[in-house]
Amino acid sequence: MKKTIPVIGMACSACSANVERKLRSLEGMNEVSVSLAGRTATVDFDPEKLSLDDMKREISDIGYDMVIESGRSAEEINRREYKLLTRRTALSWVFAVAVMSVSMGWIAIGGKPYTHSQGTDIANQTCLIMTLLNMCYCGRQFYISAWRQLRHATANMDSLVALSTIIVFLFSSFNTFWGDTVWGASGMEWHTYFDASVMIVSFVLTGRCIEEKAKDGTASSIRRLMGMQPKTARLVSGDTTTDVPIAAIEKGDTIEVRAGEKIPVDGTVVSAESYMTADAAYVDEAMISGEPTPAVKRAGDEVLAGTIPSQGKLRMKARQIGEDTALAHIIRTVQEAQGSKAPVQRIVDKAALVFVPTIIALAVVTFVAWWAIGGNSTLPQAIMSAVSVLVVACPCAMGLATPTALMVGMGKAAEKQILVKDAAALESLRKTDALVIDKTGTLTTPNRNVDFTKADDLPLEARETLKPHAAEAMAALQKEGIEVYMMTGDKEDAARYWATKAGIAHYRSKVLPGDKQQLVSRLQSEGKRVAMVGDGINDTQALALADVSMAIGKGTDVAMDVAQITLMGDDLMAIPDAIRLSRKTVSMIWQNLFWAFVYNIVCIPLAAGALHIVGSDFQITPMWASMLMACSSVSVVLNSLRLKFA
């Protein structure tokens, strides 16, 4: 059984990696893919060995939550969590300003301005209390999460934040009560750093707020698709109609839909009327087919959930309901695709599992190095340098680099009526240098109402017509350096005519399904990356063998099941559009990864104080480290959102 389940509480790539590792370890789990950007887990499991309740219990034990109950809404939970996060962030900044006002001497407490080592007991204790309140309320989730991770011998971004702020707080608290006794007696200057602790919490919370808002934008395509699902339907019973919840509709029910209303389920038209004609209604199906012109629907025609009668009204028999509708299938496909992982992401996930422990080890090395160089006189410098290393490191940026770009890219594809089933297909599509395309039903549309007994006497334009923008699409592909091959079981003169009409130089006629497969195999043996586009059962062998397979949405279910990408509309410009989008998405992934790695490679040594070796006093302090860390993860998400306008 395959399901995509919302997961609450993931904040960084180490979180998603830990959730995935825990789920993968369960008996009965066949395959699992956890998306940080999508906040989902796509699981393929054996329901006889493993239940959703078992998964939820195991995930809850390590500090996260799976939304499996029908009455709970992950979107509503995330909305409440976001509101709570913004309130805690605002309050944290109140504490931050208050502590900074005292620590910087803007407010005099105890009779004189506070200047760390010169401050009064009451000033230090006031900062201690405010910092403790900030940590216990505003930053409490960091410490709860870190403790749960520690119990299971794992770590994540919360572990770094919790460890760094606790170290700073404890060191500052020690100095508050025993600074004069321990350091002052030997003539050493001592300081408290409560401002650093409270600013770390404030900056990280601020970064989370911006990041959550930006990540929310990456899932906008899913929300738009879900928004197409109506909440109620008008049920017909005899001569009366009643508005009922969509869940109350059963197969075979008669439903009435009027102009401007969304069709609630897939069904068959029983009767239709409009002011233009007494036996037909006009339905806007652009969200499924991409066609701007409303489709004419008469008795016996099929209609799909989410489409809208633009003129007239119709009555229909419910044929597919709930998760069986075409719209539900599209939503499920996009969700699973956005939750799937490109090959490069799996490498990043492995790195994420060792990233946090590595950073903790580097912080320890930093502390030991400073203390070894200067002894007790450099102890404050050693502690603050180690804390800066803990805070400035950002596994979030690396973890978000791939999934955010993929989510936006796949959402953009869905808007163009291109359904991508998995991330690997989107990543490999960019390498395509040969495309094999079927003719009838894929490149051309057969004409209806043709007397096929006289077909040989009719012009070719009367058996079929080129699909919209077919010639432009083939020209665009060849301009990109992609060789196009047309394959058809049709006779030679028809094959030659339509290949010429579409601008395709390579074609073959009278081919069998095995011939299409052999062509794909031959092209692959020549070192080419082959994409196959088809619509029928006779194309499935070639589709299964191709490096990337595309099916036409109006084709057979078998072809669409085999294909990795489904083109929902008839406009063949979707093919070069998909390839261009693949290239832009993968380019964005590598941009994100490059800057995420550069950020960590540059900032960690600067936080450790590496420039002191060459005589420079420049060093990233804990406060600035927290700001840089927040900015790095936000910048990756914002950069990915640029794909929306590609």
List of residues 6+ apart from 285 with CB closer than 8 A: 291, 294, 295, 304, 307
Please, are residues 407 and 643 in contact by the beta-carbon 8 Å criterion? no
Separation between Cα atoms, residue 478 and residue 182, nearest integer Å:
77
Separation between Cα atoms, residue 55 and residue 14, nearest integer Å:
19
Separation between Cα atoms, residue 602 and residue 19, nearest integer Å:
29
Separation between Cα atoms, residue 362 and residue 346, nearest integer Å:
24
Separation between Cα atoms, residue 553 and residue 531, nearest integer Å:
16
Separation between Cα atoms, residue 333 and residue 42, nearest integer Å:
11
Closest CA to 593 of 404, 406, 401: 401
Question: What token pair was written down for 437?
Answer: 């395309």
What's the sign of the alpha-carbon dihedral 414, 419, 420, 421?
positive
Separation between Cα atoms, residue 616 and residue 607, nearest integer Å:
13
Match 């959550």 to its residue by tokens. Answer: 212
- Residue 619's identity, in one-letter code, is Q
- Residue 469's identity, in one-letter code, is H
The catalytic residues are 438
Question: What token pair was written down for 39?
Answer: 């906040």
* Cα separations in angstroms, 247 against 3, 73, 265, 281, 286: 20, 16, 10, 26, 25
Please, are residues 588 and 595 in contact by the beta-carbon 8 Å criterion? no
